[in-house]
Amino acid sequence: MAPEPLKLPVSVTSPTDLNRLLRELTTIDEQLLQLRVRQPGTEVKLPKTSQLLDQTVILNGLNLLQPADRLRLGQILRAVQQRAPVLHLSFSADPSPEFMAKLITWLRQHIHPFAMVTTGLQFNIGAGCIARTTNRSFDFSLSQNFARNRQLLVDRLTPPAPAAAPPEVTTP
Amino acid sequence: MTIWWLVLILAALGSAGLAFIWLAVHVTNAGDKGTDAGDPLEDAADKDVEHIFNNEFREELRNRGRLHFEKIIGENAMFLQQDLRLTTSQLNEYMKTEITNKLKEEFAKYEESIMDAKQLAIESIQKTNTAIDEQRQIMGQQLQKQLLEEKQRILTHFETNTADIINHYVLAAIGNQIDLSDQLEYILGELEANKQAIIEDIQHGA
């Protein structure tokens, strides 16, 4: 039976979050290893996990006390770190976590299950965003939209040409 | 011309006076010559004449002649004075008339000159007005042409840049006022529209 693919919580949005998870996992692994060689009777201090790691563990049904699960999670996270597509999105303001969660959900449903996002700020785009993939850039900003529809605005601003006068009908 | 008339009249009066004087002297000389004849009768007559026309009588005659001559001279002087007054008045009248005529002529010439100058000035003003009207018409046409060109240029500039100006203004005015949450639907719509291109770039990218 093949193991279930890793599910990433929507709070893990960027490669930085992945790195943080890996570092945290490594720290926990080392602390548990140290606990194994501890002197009997010494005080045990259990490692604390972050909310990000907790969500990941719960979402995937893992137990970090099990070395196999820790090993598997580490391997998968490294694989994701190496292969996950990263989109760079520039906004006019700092996105809220809720906004990022909705965006990541959509990206992982429609683009790639491990899609990662890095964000930046560009104040001149007004609204929308500019998405940059590995080789391409997609301008979804309001300014670009205005530029696309510039002729429409010009047509609305320009007064219509007077219609030609109808030919006179002469009655006998 | 009036001076010459005056001189002529004075010369005539002078000539008449001289003629009177010469006549009186000639008559006196003729009376003296008649006493030199040698005839006895004549001598007797002369004696009688001498007796009648003695020196006293002659003196009396001379006195009478002198008085008569003075009277004539006085009358002539009076006539001359009257004539001179009449001549003076005529001369004054003539001078007045002449001066009036001359002044009228001069005034007429002056008026004619003024009329000519006025006419010239009017013609010059009319020419100037005509030139000004033409120049104004030309300037008006040029101004109208320049106004049309400037209007067209401004319209072209406006049509060219208005969209950019409005876009810039709208972005600057409301760009930061739109919440990102409100933009999510628009962003997802754009991503959906370009989904295939994004997937292809992810799959085939380096």
Asked if A84 is an interface residue toward chain B (Cβ–Cβ < 8 A), one would say no
Token pair belonging to B124: 């010059």
> What is each CA distance from B175 to A127, A129, B161, in whole angstroms?
6, 12, 20
Tens-digit pLDDT profile for residues B145-167:
999 999 999 888 877 777 777 77
Mean per-residue pLDDT over chain B, rounded: 84
Q: Inform me whether the C-beta atom of residue A12 falls under 8 Å from chain B C-beta atoms.
A: no
The whole-angstrom separation of Cα B10 and Cα B90 is 15
Q: Is the pLDDT of residue A20 over 80?
A: yes
Query: Of all helices (H) and strands (E), which one includes residue A31?
Result: helix A15-36
pLDDT of residue B139: 94
Mean pLDDT of A12-26: 90
A61 touches chain B (CB under 8 A): no
Which carries the bigger pLDDT value, residue B85 or residue B43?
B85
Of B175, B191, B192, the CB nearest to A142: B175
Q: Determine the residue type at B92.
A: N
Quote the minimal CA–CA distance from B130 to chain A in Å. Answer: 40
pLDDT > 80? residue B190: yes
Check CB contact under 8 Å for A129 and B197. Answer: no
Flag if B176 and A123 touch (Cβ within 8 Å).
yes
Under an 8 A CB cutoff, do B190 and A140 touch? yes
Taking residues A63-76, report their average pLDDT. 85
Instruction: Parse chain B into domains and list their residue ranges.
Output: 2-132
Q: How far is CA A18 from CA A3, B146, B194, in A?
A: 21, 68, 26
Compute the C-alpha angle A121/A126/A131, nearest 5°: 50
Residue at A146: amino acid letter: F
CB pairs under 8 A between A and B: 107
Rg of chain B over Cα atoms, rounded to whole angstroms, equals: 64
**How far is B202 from B194, CA to CA, in rounded Å?**
12
Q: Contact B201/A126, CB-based, under 8 Å?
A: no
User: Looking at residue B38, what is its pLDDT?
Assistant: 58
Chain B touched by A124 (CB under 8 Å): yes
A153 interface with B at CB cutoff 8 Å: yes
ipTM of model: 0.76
The model's pLDDT over A83-130, given as tens digits with 9 standing for 90+, comes to: 888 889 998 888 888 888 888 999 989 888 888 899 998 877 778 888
Q: Which residue of B has its CA nearest to A98?
A: B181
Interface probe for A, chosen from B151, B154, B167 (most Cβ of A below 10 Å), is: B167
* CA-based torsion, A79, A110, A89, B205: positive or negative: positive
The proportion of chain A whose per-residue pLDDT surpasses 70, expressed as a percent, equals 88
